[in-house]
Amino acid sequence: MKKFNVAKSVESEKKKSPPEKKIFYSLIMCVFAIALFTSFFSGKMEKKINEAAKNVKPAQTEPEKVREVYIPPESKTDIGEAEAKEEKSDVITIKPEVEAPAAKPEAEVTPKPEITSIIKPVNGEILKLFSDKTPVYSKTMDDWRVHDGIDISAKVGDSVFACANGVIEDVFDDKNMGTTVIIDHGSFKSKYQNLSPNTAVQKGVEVKEGDTIGVVGDSAAYEIADAPHLHFELYEGNVQKNPEKMFK
C-alpha cells in the first residue's frame, strides 16, 4: 500500500481551488470522525464484553441419566435369593447362653418299714403243712410230692384277706391250682390259690392288711379231693418260705 503523505497533500490542496479545498477538508474530518468513533465504539464494546464475561456463570453439567434395565420377574427372584444367601452367609448368629434350670432337690422318700409278721388269710386250721424238701401224700394225685405252701381249712365262699399291706401284682387262672392272686409286699410276696373265679381285686390295686381280696372256691384241680381249703404260699424271689413262721 502507498503511504499517505498528509503534508504533501496539504501543499497540493493549497494550490487547488476553494471548492476543492472544502471537499478535501470535509473528507479529512470524516476520516478523523470515523477513526474517533471506531476507537470509542471498540473500547466500549470491549468493556461490555469483559463485563458480560464476568457475569457469565459456568455451565452446569446435567446429571447423568440413569439407564433403566428391565429384569424379568424370574431373574429378580434369583437375584433376591442369591443376595439373601450371601447375607445369610455373612451373618454370624450368636445364640444366647441359656442357663440350665437348677435341678430340683429330689423329694425324700420315706422307706416303708419292713414287714416281719402277717395275719392268717382265712380263719381255720392248717390241714397240710409246708414241705419243700420232704414229700407228702396227695389224695388227688395219689402220689408223694413236696408242698410249697400250707392248706388252711375254710368253707367255700369264706372271705380271704390280704396277709399284710401291699399291691396286687397279678390275678390269673392257674390250670393246676385254680384262680390265683399274688400280692407284692416289698421284701416278699404272698400267693392265694383255689379261690372262686370272682375276685374282689384287680392288678395294680393297693391293699391293706385285712382287706378282702376274694373268697374260697374249689378251682384247684390238683387238690380237688381234699377238704375245702385255701392254698397259701410265701416266697422271697424264687425261694419258698414257711408261712407259719411269720404268723402273728
Q: What is the pLDDT of residue 31?
A: 73
**pLDDT for the residue 6:** 45
Instruction: Give the pLDDT confidence score for residue 27 in this predicted structure.
Output: 76
User: Is 190:183 a contact under the CB 8 Å cutoff?
Assistant: yes
E-state strands within the chain: 126-128, 131-138, 143-147, 150-153, 159-161, 166-174, 178-184, 189-195, 206-207, 212-215, 229-236, 239-241
Do 195 and 217 form a contact (C-beta atoms < 8 A)?
A: yes
Q: Measure the CA–CA gap between 244 and 128, rounded to whole angstroms.
A: 11
Q: Answer positive or negative: Cα dihedral of 79, 80, 83, 85.
A: negative
Q: How many CB atoms lie within 10 A of CB 129?
A: 13
Residue with cell 497533500: 9
Decide if 187 contacts 115 (C-beta within 8 A).
yes
Gap between the Cα atoms of 43 and 47, Å rounded: 6
Start-to-end Cα distance in the chain: 168
Query: Which set of grid coordinates corresponds to residue 200?
Result: 374282689
Q: Is 217 in a helix, a strand, or coil? A: coil
Q: What residues contact 125, with CB distance under 8 A and at least 6 apart? A: 152, 153
**What are 144's three cell numbers?**
408223694
Rounded Cα distance, 149 and 128, in Å: 8
Burial of residue 131 (number of CB atoms within 10 Å: 0-12, 13-18, 19+): middle
Look at residue 107 in the predicted model and tell me its pLDDT.
60
The model carries a pTM of 0.57
- Residue 124 CB-density burial (10 A; 0-12 exposed, 13-18 middle, 19+ buried): middle
The residue behind cell 452446569 is: 60
In a structure prediction context, what are the per-residue pLDDT tens digits for the chain, which is 248 residues long?
444 454 454 455 455 455 666 676 777 777 777 777 666 666 666 666 666 556 655 555 555 555 555 555 554 455 555 555 555 555 455 555 656 666 666 666 666 778 999 999 999 999 999 998 899 999 999 999 999 999 999 999 999 999 999 999 999 999 999 999 999 999 999 999 999 998 999 999 999 999 999 999 999 999 999 999 999 999 999 899 999 999 99
Residue 72 is predicted with a pLDDT of 56
CB-based contact 194:217 (threshold 8 Å): yes
